[in-house]
Structure 1
Amino acid sequence: MYPAIKSVLDILSAVLIIIVLSPILLGLIAVLYLQNNGQPFFRQRRPGFKERPFYLTKFKSMTDKRGENGQLLPDNERLTKVGAFIRKTSLDELPQLYNVLRGEMSIVGPRPLLFKYIPLYSPEQRRRHEVKPGITGWAQVNGRNSISWKRKFELDIYYVNRQSFWLDLKILWLTVQKVLKREGVNQSAARPMQPFNGHN
């Protein structure tokens, strides 16, 4: 019963958050629209519930600047000051509330990764797609980029096996604490997560 109840709670929560944060959301959209040539959002195809594709939406934190060879410049050269700020404060994640309203994501769940990782998963790791992906999750409040991929997937499966209203509340509470204290943010910036290769 909880997954059905959770879907309703997700939509109600997303609507409430959007209403409360609407001045911030509108302000960021305006700033990023001007900074990124009319493109305030970053969208990328990701696997969702049962590996169904959807387009994850985030605020755009990097420009599309390219070098003389036409290739995109390194991330650190494209990251803007506003982009760095919204990453540090996790404000770049807020547009995913739109994905929640569309039923593609949940407030809490395993983070949606890349399609190219799916063939590299073990059967157990692939179970992370048995629930909707989330804006925040058990792995995010237990180490984020400071833990190995193996440990991150273990935490994702822990959530899949034990999801409940009380576990979601705990994750949300820990998420708020970490965002306010910026725990793990500087560490994540200093140590970006390496691509998953099936072994790490």
Structure 2
Amino acid sequence: MRKNKEIYRRYFKRFLDLFFALLLLIILSPLLFIVTILLWIVTSSNPFFTQSRPGKNERIFRIIKFKTMNDRKDERGRLLPDKDRLTGIGRVIRKTSIDELPQLINVVRGEMSFIGPRPLLIRYLPFYTENEKKRHSVLPGITGLAQVTGRNLLSWDARLSADIKYVESISPSLDFKILIKTIENVITSKDIAVDPNTVIKDLDEERKST
């Protein structure tokens, strides 16, 4: 059993990621095109949001998402708070998780997997415990165990604990369960905070204050 899990983790999981990412990009191309045009019109700028994130072995890559906020600034030239820049269409695509779909490109590139710990911010790296650093021993995922057990509503300790539990328990059955639960959560919009900053502090801010 352990040998089968290792074979799945090292080889078969990547094959499935690549196959289904390419298939979904083809099937969803009309939706991706429409959303791209709508966001380009609404934001009057690049409809994609890219940001550097640490992936497997803390290797930095550029995550790709649909842009859900505009670039409005205050009188001093500083960006307004996220909640004031979130557009109407951005709220909808964030609530339905459509904003995550461009990450299929990251999966094709081999930078992400369908299932794995979510790639967080680079500035969080110094604030992980030694055990929590295990989350970077696998490819980050579009969804993961933490996302189907509370998503934005979990505390940081619970979220990172779920990531480690996943890393230590990767198997075809676990990935399948997470995938089905993810689909259910997207359909019901369960545990989705459109503006996560209203629910939980950033990890670095929380751990600096403790």
Q: Which amino acid aligns with 1:99?
A: N
Matches within 5 A, 1:78-93: 78-93=85-100
Matches of 1:65 and 1:71 in 2, distance apart?
8
Which stretches in structure 1 are left out of the alignment for 5+ residues? none
Q: Which amino acid aligns with 1:123?
A: E
User: How many pairs does the alignment contain?
Assistant: 200
Matches within 5 A, 1:104-143: 104-143=111-150
1:2 maps onto 2:8 in alignment: yes
Q: Which amino acid aligns with 2:142?
A: I
Matches within 5 A, 1:156-175: 156-175=163-182
Matches of 1:85 and 1:105 in 2, distance apart?
24
Q: Pairwise CA RMSD of aligned residues?
A: 1.6
Equivalent residue for 1:58?
A: 65
Any idea what the Cα deviations from partners look like across 1:12-39, whole Å, max 9, x if unmatched? 1111111221111110011112222230
Matches of 1:148 and 1:185 in 2, distance apart?
14
Shift of 1:97: 0.4
User: What percentage of aligned pairs have identical amino acids?
Assistant: 46
Q: Which amino acid aligns with 1:83?
A: G
1:71 maps onto 2:78 in alignment: yes
Any idea what the Cα deviations from partners look like across 1:47-72, whole Å, max 9, x if unmatched? 00000000000000000111110100
Q: Which amino acid aligns with 1:2?
A: Y
Which stretches in structure 2 are left out of the alignment for 5+ residues? 1-6
Distance 1:113 1:190, change over 3 A: closer
1:148 maps onto 2:155 in alignment: yes
TM-score of the aligned structures, taking structure 2 as reference length: 0.91
Distance 1:190 1:99, change over 3 A: closer
Matches of 1:38 and 1:186 in 2, distance apart?
25
